[in-house]
Amino acid sequence: MAELELFTFFCDDTRDEVGGKTSYMGMLADRVVYPSTVKRVKGIVAVGMIRVDGLEKVEAQLEVFVPGRDDPLVMPLEVERPEDEGSSWTIHMHAAMNNIPVQDGFELRSVLSCMGKVATAKVVQSLRGAVPE
């Protein structure tokens, strides 16, 4: 029986490690508070992961909604099981975005869909007032 598990989240950065591993730096919680002086974030990465069991081919899509864009960023993917993998394998999708505007109350959202299943993540941006001296 074929099985899929989907995960999506946001982080500050990703790193490819020795042995085919990936590290995720600065995983973001559901709310991020920025000082009121911050107008843009240098970089954010939307991550989608799919654990696949019993399928030879998978079609997926990662959509990312960011401030300043009416339409989401869309990352489609069609992949076949690598020959050197068994029946269980994992797909990693990373959408790195630079210079993201910070807007109080805006939700960064990612939607990962694959073969009828959906996973979502959101991070609400908040601005904190300047600290009195």
Please give the structure tokens belonging to residue 88: 């269980």
Whichever domain contains 68, its CATH number is: 2.60.40
Give me the number of domains the chain comprises.
Answer: 1
Let me know if residue 61 belongs to a domain.
yes
Residue 20, pLDDT score: 82
- Its pTM stands at 0.87
- What are the pLDDT digits (tens) for 110-129? 999 999 999 999 999 998 87
Task: Give the separation between CA 14 and CA 111, rounded to whole angstroms.
Answer: 19
Instruction: Give the domain range for residue 67.
Output: 3-128
- Give every strand in the sheet of 117-128, ordered side by side: 31-35, 117-128, 107-114, 57-65, 73-80
Please give the structure tokens belonging to residue 21: 């591993």
